[in-house]
Chains A and B, each alone.
Chain A
Amino acid sequence: DAEITQSPRHKITETGRQVTLACHQTWNHNNMFWYRQDLGHGLRLIHYSYGVQDTNKGEVSDGYSVSRSNTEDLPLTLESAASSQTSVYFCASSESWRDEQFFGPGTRLTVL
């Protein structure tokens, strides 16, 4: 069965370190998204991609970067982790920009 996975599921890191969160989908979807979940804000879009080599900034992209070298993967990198980036991160994919999104299980990141 097609699926979308995230790793690691839990991560504790220190301020200033670079961290990469992995997202892998086997739906063969063109579109992939990264969100963070914060209390009172719901899901906020960090970055998204509509295809290989395409990446776009979302509403809370500062301090984050993504790259899309193949259809299956969209890794999210925190260049220099800050305590404000402690959150739960969700990756999602969809067949087209207007279709429902399928979400991964989430990664809980704690920055100390």
Chain B
Amino acid sequence: ILNVEQSPQSLHVQEGDSTNFTCSFPSSNFYALHWYRWETAKSPEALFVMTLNGDEKKKGRISATLNTKEGYSYLYIKGSQPEDSATYLCAFTSGTYKYIFGTGTRLKVLA
């Protein structure tokens, strides 16, 4: 059974703080790792897709790194703002045609 785990499950940070969370996935049969942002009462929207070990992606204050050898990806948010409050999902794609979501990290940024 392929397992994708995210930690922490939830966190609260103050506005202006930087934060990061982790996505752990199987290191074998890796194809791609996706990050999604999911705001309350909306649908998940893709942030990044990463395919190569050592990949780094950046979009504004949000960035992500990938380590396929050890099976983890970090998502960083620099200078968190209240509008960053959302659930951040990662999804692992394997070479065996599997696309598996983690359970997400719920971020709340306090003004």
Contacts and interface: CB of A to CB of B under 8 A. Distances in A.
Interface of A: 33, 35, 40-43, 45, 50, 90, 97-106
B43 A98 contact: no
Contact of A103 (B34, B43, B97, B103): B43
B63 interface: no
B89 interface: yes
Classify chain B: how many residues form its interface, as a range: 20 to 34
A52 to B, nearest CB: 17
Contact of B46 (A35, A100, A105): A100
B89 A97 contact: no
Contacts of B31: 98
Nearest to B32: A98
Interface of B: 31-32, 34, 36, 42-46, 49, 89, 91, 93, 97, 99-104
16 contacts: A41-B103, A42-B89, A43-B89, A45-B101, A50-B97, A90-B44, A97-B93, A99-B49, A100-B36, A101-B34, A102-B46, A103-B43, A103-B44, A103-B45, A104-B43, A105-B43
A42 B46 contact: no
A40 B103 contact: yes
Contacts of A99: 49
B90 to A, nearest CB: 10
Contacts of B103: 40-42
Nearest to A97: B97
Contact of B101 (A40, A43, A102, A104): A43
